[in-house]
Each structure stands twice: as C-alpha cells, then as structure tokens.
C-alpha cells in the first residue's frame, strides 16, 4: 500500500510540475494596453492597469491589448516630452540618451523585447505630427496602411511573445480509505 501512495504522490508532483512549466510563459508575460488620445493623436502603451484605467477616465480611448511583452529580454525605454505631450519608446540606448539630452524625460524601462523575436512590433513615424508622431503595432496591415498615408517605415521596434494557453487544471484526486 505504501508503494501505491508513493507512486500516486510522484504522479501528482509530475503533473503539477508539468502544469507549472506549461503556464510559465503566460504567467511571466505582461499584457500591453494600447490607448489613443483623440485630442493629440498619440498612442500610449502600458502594462499598468491602474495607469490605463486613469487615462481612460480622463478621456483616452482603450484599444485593448496591443501585444504581450515578456518579463525579461532586451529593455524598451520609455520617454516623455512635456512640451509636445508625447511619449516615445525605443530599445536603442543611444536614441534614449540623445532624447534625454535634448529635454525628454526618461521614465525608465517600460517593458522588455522578446530575445527569441517571436512577434515583431513595427514602428512608423509621421513627420507631420507634433504629438503622436510614432506608432507601434503588431498588425502589419495597419503598418502598411500608415505607410500608404505618408508615415515613414522605421522597421521593427521590438518583439512581443505569442500568447500561450495555460495547461488545463488537473481534476482533484479523490482520496479513499480502504478498510
């Protein structure tokens, strides 16, 4: 009987470990909220639900989840220009340092880029905009449409990860007492 319990315990441990490993990618991922300011034309991106909710409350439009960011990888820097009321995001430390030098406020690492390069995020620049001059999207059709309307292609800005489906929760094991 002891051998049966040991095998059951080992089996449940293996099942729990498998469920943990299968769920690890999505548990470490961050949903990146995409918002739009209809007054300035700026798109804003954040993993912080509180920040997203505050912006929606003050008039920004939520556009849902823009992509899924990994919990580690290459840093994507977040900057803010108080004169234009515009945010900018870049993986390029030289670009970040230059923008800080000319007056942008460095707000830290916003999220990370997937080192495995699973899901590309395209960057486009609108030379006619005072704010909202950059757009970042996983949707290549959106990117092509912006380019068709005068935006400049700036290539791939960073990478997100694919959304994974968590492993199903194992059914509870019924314990029986044999008499």
Q: What is the pLDDT of residues 79-97, one digit of tens each?
A: 999 998 899 999 999 999 9
Q: Mean pLDDT lowest for which of 7-16, 52-61, 136-145, 150-159? A: 7-16
Distance, CA of 76 to CA of 91 (rounded, Å): 5
Residue 109: partners with Cβ closer than 8 Å, 6 or more residues away: 75, 76, 77, 78
Q: Mean pLDDT lowest for which of 28-37, 64-73, 107-116? A: 28-37
Can you give the pLDDT at residue 174? 46
Q: Give per-residue burial for 83-97: e unless 16+ CB within 10 Å, then b.
A: ebebbbbbbeeeebe
Mean pLDDT of 110-119: 96
Distance, CA of 125 to CA of 150 (rounded, Å): 9
Q: Where are the alpha helices (DSSP H) in 29-130?
A: 49-57, 93-101
Burial of residue 168 (CB within 10 Å: 0-12, 13-18, 19+) is exposed
> Does the structure show a pLDDT above 50 at 139?
yes
Give strand pairing partners of 101. none
Q: Which one, of 125, 25, 35, lies nearest residue 71 by Cα?
A: 25
Can you give the pLDDT at residue 11? 38
> Does the structure show a pLDDT above 60 at 24?
no
Q: Mean pLDDT lowest for which of 22-31, 33-42, 82-91, 113-122? A: 22-31
What letter does residue 104 receive in the DSSP assignment? P
Measured CA to CA in angstroms, residue 107 lies from 8, 32, 42, 84, 123 at distances of: 51, 17, 17, 16, 20
């Amino acid at each position: 009987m002891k051998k049966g319990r040991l095998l059951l315990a080992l089996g449940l441990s293996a099942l729990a470990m498998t469920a943990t490993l299968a769920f690890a990618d999505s548990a470490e991922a961050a949903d990146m909220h995409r918002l739009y300011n209809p007054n300035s034309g700026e798109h804003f991106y954040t993993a912080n639900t509180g920040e997203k909710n505050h912006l929606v409350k003050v008039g920004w439009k939520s556009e849902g989840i823009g992509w899924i960011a990994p919990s580690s990888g290459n840093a994507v820097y977040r900057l803010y220009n108080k004169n234009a009321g515009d945010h900018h995001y870049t993986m390029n430390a030289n670009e970040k340092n230059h923008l800080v030098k000319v007056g942008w406020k460095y707000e830290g690492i916003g999220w990370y880029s997937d080192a495995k390069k699973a899901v590309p995020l395209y960057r486009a620049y609108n030379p006619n905009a005072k704010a909202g001059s950059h757009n970042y999207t996983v949707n290549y059709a959106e990117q092509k449409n912006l380019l068709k309307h005068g935006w400049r292609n700036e290539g791939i800005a960073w990478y997100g990860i694919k959304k994974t489906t968590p492993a199903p929760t194992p059914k509870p094991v019924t314990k029986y007492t044999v008499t």
